[in-house]
Structure 1
Amino acid sequence: MTSHPLLQAIIPLVADLARELPATERYRRLLEALRVLLPCDAAALLRLEDGWLVPLAVDGLSGDTLGRRFRVEEHPRFAALLEAEGPLRFPPDSTLPDPYDGLVESHRGHLPVHDCVGCAVRFDHKPWGLLTLDDLAPERFSSLDLAVLQSFGSLAAATVSVAARIEQLHSRAEHESLRAEGYRLAATPRSRSLIGRSPSMRQLQKEIELVAASELPVLIQGETGVGKELVAEALHARSARASRPMISLNCAALPDTLVESELFGHVKGAFTGAIGERPGKFELADGGTLFLDEVGELALNVQAKLLRVLQSGQLQRLGSDREHRVDVRLIAASNRNLADEVREGRLRADFYHRLSVYPLHVPPLRERGRDVLLLGGFFLEENRSRLGLGGLRLDAGAQQALLAHGWPGNVRELEHLLGRSVLKALGRQPNRPRILSLTAEDLDLPKTRTEPAVPPAEGHAPVTTAQNVSLREAVAQLERRLVTDTLARHGFNRAAAARALGLDRANLARLAKRLGVAELPGNARGTGQRGASRSSAPQRSSR
């Protein structure tokens, strides 16, 4: 005797309830069984978090969907499903925009979804999220399918409950305060968080969970644009100091004369312009976390004073001899290799060892595989909401272009690229479309993962590749040539050159000084003049 199809689909899932499985695998199996029971083009399970619906598992939707965040108030279909008592089917001719229009993988182009059903998944009698089914063909679903979906929704709630209970047990075993931390984060959600499912990002997230609950100083290292500040925020949010402030300071954005005042504070009359008493970042972060970004830019004398505060917990405001005691957890970040900076004498060894008690490396985007699509989905949804579009998607060619690119600017480059590409693609449309598809041509990226060639400027030899030249020396040659050429191209206007290089002015000044091109005069034009300036008395660099 043949079992009922519903029982055939449900029995394996019921058996899974007694097994210890990762939550993502439970959700994947849930959607797989649902599509066998109710054949359709796409299914999704979304979790409700602070007014946003976050996809936890999708089947049949574009790979970037997992990176998207759907604001409920902007999607009336989602809002209706969350408010309904049971499953809900939208008429094929419904005028309500469908969030999945253009995201269904089984169709080339951006044919809108024609039939859509869904139901709220409830946990502890409250809406936990949504289960949705979509099909490109009209009249795909029937009243019988709604009854089946209702039964499946109950099983989804049980699956969610089991996954949540297991997660709670693990959390309690690791740190009893994580549960309270979850409520705190729910009350003050961050606009952005770490997104990624690649092995390197999973490892990073595991290390964040491990070290966050400790009081150890953490040094976050990684290339520019990888999201080091998000890592710092995640560490603070998961720490016992989460209810206290996290104070940030970009050490590269301030001249050396102001860094001490920013860190330690000052009293009235401590220097010209100090018209009142002012606490520094350390005092503002008392009881919480201090995040020092680009910490490798600090001058040696500032490093020594900072080291004293880290060791004793005591500081003096500039111009004062009174001691202030602070309790601060330090998180530092740098895009430089600080061990190399110690060897070069630009960073104190004792300061470095104090910072790097627990080092974390944030992987560059080029090493994160398909994470680029998840991040792309997140940024596309931000742009869709900001521009008021009904749908914003990447076609297959655009997805391949994103996966093939080398991303020298990392996540920041991806964010800016997509924002720029959406505007360009929108501007080429004769009429404002409801669903906008980005193509590889819109992205305008190289077709293969190669670094762009930098041709030598006139008067410059190409970077040497002799066997006796180290990688560091070759990189320094390339940096020196790029900085020199950019300065020359902008008439040695440091502000304009810094903008062209994507640096702030203070960073450019330090980089130029380190590379030996800081003494170029503001009126030099030819190679001979530059050479003369190096051989004569040093010139003051303009600021």
Structure 2
Amino acid sequence: MTSHPLLHALIPLVDDLSRDLPEQERYRRLLQALRVLLPCDAVALLRLEGEWLVPLSVNGLSGDTLGRRFRVREHPRFQVLLASTAPTRFPTDSPLPDPYDGLVQGASGDLQVHDCLGCPLLVDDQVWGLLTLDALSPGQLAPVDLGALQAFASLAAATVRVTLRIERLVRQAEGEFQRAEIYRLAAGERPHTLIGQSALFCKLMEDIALVGASALSVLISGETGVGKELVAQALHAASPRANRPLISLNCAALPESLVESELFGHVVGAFSGAVSDRRGKFELADGGTLLLDEVGELPLTVQAKLLRVLQSGQLQRLGSDREHRIDVRLIAATNRDLAEEVRQGRFRADLYHRLSVYPLHVPALRQRGSDVLLLTGYFLEENRSRLGLHSLRLSGDAEAVLLAYPWPGNVRELEHLVARSALKAYGQRRDGSRILTLSAEDFALQGEPPGPPRAEPPLEPEAPVGDLREAVEHFERRQIRASLERHQGNWASAARELGMDRANLRRLARRLGFV
């Protein structure tokens, strides 16, 4: 390969270093030029995050690849590339499985990679990530000059340095000095992370970065399953309290009698069963962040006490007169319209305003367009690892049905659907292939979401005409039983559907004699 075409490709990319371009556009241009210059079917730029490689930009690979997270120890080719200081060319008959098997676009069959080379990217003398090239035909990459790839790797590293420098300046200008903490790795299993590229998602991430570094209370709203807890984790990670605990409490999962004890703690003898002193969630979160999930389910009596704690910064454990001073940043989450709850008298207006200093709305999955495929890629890679496959991928018709489906259960539904579909398809394999393709039929998304048929609630026979009080009670029993059946025994959801306070619904049910 002569230097002329290489120089022709490098000059515009060098010029890009001085231009104001979005991060994704810089990386896209880099890979586009690399694929035009070198005879490959796919290229990828990956960032090393602890024990994971995260794709930042790809060209020639399926769209869901950007949502995947590759654990290095599960991919021996990545291990070899990261251990080298120079470009590495793998033999065409290498027995090591390729991470991109089944992910290269534009071919049929198993789509296995037969030619592969790559190069580590060094930023400030540290391995930052990888640049990889793959081809479907054996020997296709043989003409590639490894010196040319090294030159591209150096340019890619320069592009990364420019991007990081711009990002650093933006963080300093906006006071977002801990934004990178959003992506911190926990020990052991990598936690689920926020993934997306849609306009609504990017706006959410901007808001997280903006308010995360502040001490403001945040009210996170959104439908069930959109990832409100992940948003809370990102807010905590972006805050100066990131090295302190994030404590969560699901307000809908506790009976009313235990909510106060869980929040504020208790002393021995405070109530029957209180055999020792116990700290509540506020004290456990001291110096850190407290997440109140489903905060709209809190009883009004507890709301008043919560407001007093937020206003004074002091609390008393149940059964004690001693004051405990606490320093907690509060994040609340709800799938209810709290403003409407205030208008209906089911939520205190003063507490609502105290919680919603900075409201954040998490968009529904159906509003996020092709983010569905990125999230699917993330979940596919998780399940590929669990099932011990070389590749777990989507067919074209599967992508189409996933994009068309309305996702009433949002990201949580998608996660469970991918896991269920992958396991079923794995169990139905006939040829023992290590590359598994999920089709539209595997997802079974025609009409209603997949799941066991819902049995109709057993209804009592019609009440006899006569006593009006008995007829009313008969009707109330039917309505409550039917609502509980629809909501799988969740009293808070049933109360919301029936327009009642949860505690009042339980009292009515007890009076009617079936709880």
Q: Provide the TM-score with structure 2 as the length reference.
A: 0.90
**CA drift at 1:515:** 5.9
User: Which residue matches 1:11?
Assistant: 11
Distance 1:120 1:250 in 2: 44
Which of 492, 495, 500 is the equivalent residue of 1:507? Answer: 492
Distance 2:311 2:106 in 1: 60
Residue by residue over 1:177-225, the C-alpha shift from the partner in whole angstroms, topping out at 9 and shown as x without a partner, is 327x649935769612111100000000111111111111100000000
Distance 2:504 2:309 in 1: 35
User: Which residue matches 1:402?
Assistant: 402
Counterpart amino acid of 1:291?
L
**Contact 2:294 2:332 (C-alpha < 8 Å) held by counterparts:** yes
Residue by residue over 1:95-148, the C-alpha shift from the partner in whole angstroms, topping out at 9 and shown as x without a partner, is 111110111111133321111111111111111101011111110012643221
User: Which residue matches 1:223?
Assistant: 223
**Contact 2:492 2:502 (C-alpha < 8 Å) held by counterparts:** no
User: Which residue matches 1:185?
Assistant: 184
**Contact 2:221 2:335 (C-alpha < 8 Å) held by counterparts:** yes
Distance 2:72 2:8 in 1: 34
**CA drift at 1:455:** 12
Residue by residue over 1:72-109, the C-alpha shift from the partner in whole angstroms, topping out at 9 and shown as x without a partner, is 00000011011112111111211111110111111133
Distance 1:188 1:297 in 2: 33
Distance 2:178 2:330 in 1: 20
Change (3 A) 1:516 1:429: same
Distance 2:23 2:70 in 1: 21
User: Which residue matches 1:174?
Assistant: 174
**Contact 1:520 1:541 (C-alpha < 8 Å) held by counterparts:** no
Change (3 A) 1:188 1:434: closer
User: Which residue matches 1:470?
Assistant: none
Distance 1:4 1:117 in 2: 22
Q: Provide the TM-score with structure 1 as the length reference.
A: 0.85
Which of 502, 512, 515 is the equivalent residue of 1:539? Answer: 512
Distance 1:354 1:150 in 2: 56
User: Which residue matches 1:203?
Assistant: 203
Counterpart amino acid of 1:337?
D
1:361 to 2:334 alignment: no
**Contact 1:115 1:134 (C-alpha < 8 Å) held by counterparts:** yes
User: Which residue matches 2:348?
Assistant: 348
**CA drift at 1:41:** 1.1
User: Which residue matches 1:466?
Assistant: none
User: Which residue matches 2:382?
Assistant: 382
Change (3 A) 1:454 1:390: closer
Residue by residue over 1:346-368, the C-alpha shift from the partner in whole angstroms, topping out at 9 and shown as x without a partner, is 11111111111111000000000
Distance 1:411 1:271 in 2: 40
How do 1:518-537 and structure 2 match up within 5 A? none
**Contact 2:265 2:280 (C-alpha < 8 Å) held by counterparts:** yes
**Contact 1:51 1:71 (C-alpha < 8 Å) held by counterparts:** yes
Which runs of no fewer than 5 residues in structure 2 stay unpaired? 461-474
User: Which residue matches 1:77?
Assistant: 77
User: Which residue matches 2:371?
Assistant: 371
Residue by residue over 1:213-240, the C-alpha shift from the partner in whole angstroms, topping out at 9 and shown as x without a partner, is 1111100000000000000000110011
User: Which residue matches 2:258?
Assistant: 258
Change (3 A) 1:517 1:229: closer
Distance 1:486 1:400 in 2: 40
Change (3 A) 1:5 1:505: same
**Contact 2:182 2:237 (C-alpha < 8 Å) held by counterparts:** no
User: Which residue matches 2:133?
Assistant: 133
Change (3 A) 1:287 1:515: closer
Structure 1 residue ranges, 4+ long, deviating more than 4 angstroms after superposition: 181-184, 186-190, 453-460, 483-488, 515-521
Residue by residue over 1:518-542, the C-alpha shift from the partner in whole angstroms, topping out at 9 and shown as x without a partner, is 9999xxxxxxxxxxx99xx941441
User: Which residue matches 1:416?
Assistant: 416
**Contact 1:373 1:399 (C-alpha < 8 Å) held by counterparts:** yes
**CA drift at 1:426:** 0.9
1:320 to 2:320 alignment: yes
3-state SS of 2:330 partner = strand
Distance 1:4 1:406 in 2: 51
How do 1:424-435 and structure 2 match up within 5 A? 424-435=424-435
**Contact 2:176 2:213 (C-alpha < 8 Å) held by counterparts:** no
Residue by residue over 1:23-55, the C-alpha shift from the partner in whole angstroms, topping out at 9 and shown as x without a partner, is 111110000000111032111000000110000
* Aligned-residue RMSD, C-alpha: 3.0
Residue by residue over 1:455-485, the C-alpha shift from the partner in whole angstroms, topping out at 9 and shown as x without a partner, is 999999xxxxxxxxxxxxxxxxxxxx9x968
Distance 2:397 2:352 in 1: 45
**CA drift at 1:432:** 2.9
Change (3 A) 1:248 1:257: same
Change (3 A) 1:310 1:86: same
Counterpart amino acid of 2:495?
R
Counterpart amino acid of 1:510?
A
Distance 1:328 1:183 in 2: 19
Change (3 A) 1:18 1:446: same
**Contact 1:290 1:330 (C-alpha < 8 Å) held by counterparts:** yes
Distance 1:90 1:504 in 2: 57
3-state SS of 2:122 partner = strand
**CA drift at 1:243:** 1.4
Counterpart amino acid of 2:492?
N
**Contact 1:184 1:243 (C-alpha < 8 Å) held by counterparts:** no
User: Which residue matches 1:474?
Assistant: none
Counterpart amino acid of 2:403?
L
Which runs of no fewer than 5 residues in structure 1 stay unpaired? 461-480, 522-532
Distance 2:236 2:489 in 1: 27
User: Which residue matches 1:114?
Assistant: 114
**CA drift at 1:175:** 1.6
1:68 to 2:48 alignment: no
3-state SS of 2:311 partner = helix
